[in-house]
């Protein structure tokens, strides 16, 4: 296997995040594993692209953005049909923080997930 960079996100409630990401963005659950501290580690796929997640913990200095009231990173995703993706997220009740707009590099919208991670979905310009 070659190099693969995988975003690792921290959530207060990993099972709720798994459900939300499936329902709102169309991710498919790949795995979930309980941790010795009572939390959970999980991974999901969207069109073959992986994200991982775990329970935030002060002991590890890793918490969900909603616990700190600010995000320190965002997730940028290219999708083939951003209008359809936007419609799915909107129908699922997602908090769309920036509506669809053309930014030169592509048509983009921004969503805050259930723990306030910013997700940027873009369809590349032709």
Rounded to the nearest 10 degrees, what angle do helices 14-25 and 82-91 cross at? Answer: 130
pLDDT, one tens digit per residue, over 30-76 is 999 988 778 889 999 999 999 999 887 766 667 777 777 777 788 99
User: In whole numbers, what is the pLDDT of the chain averaged over residues?
Assistant: 89
Fold category of 8-59+74-124 in CATH:
2,3-Dihydroxybiphenyl 1,2-Dioxygenase; domain 1 (3.10.180)
pTM, to two decimals: 0.80
Check residue 113 and give its pLDDT: 94
Distance CA 36, CA 15 (A): 16
- In the numeric block, which tokens belong to residue 88? 């799915």
Domain locations in the chain? Answer: 8-59+74-124
């Amino acid at each position: 296997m070659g190099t693969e960079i995988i975003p690792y996100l921290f959530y207060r409630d990993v099972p709720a995040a798994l459900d939300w990401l499936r329902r709102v963005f169309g991710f498919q659950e790949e795995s979930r594993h309980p941790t010795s501290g009572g939390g959970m580690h999980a991974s999901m796929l969207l069109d073959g692209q992986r994200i991982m997640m775990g329970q935030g913990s002060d002991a590890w200095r890793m918490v969900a953005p909603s616990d700190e009231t600010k995000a320190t990173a965002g997730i940028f995703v290219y999708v083939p049909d951003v209008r359809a993706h936007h419609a799915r997220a909107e129908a699922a009740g997602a908090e769309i923080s920036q509506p669809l707009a053309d930014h030169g590099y592509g048509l983009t919208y921004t969503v805050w997930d259930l723990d306030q991670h910013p997700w940027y979905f873009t369809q590349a310009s032709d």
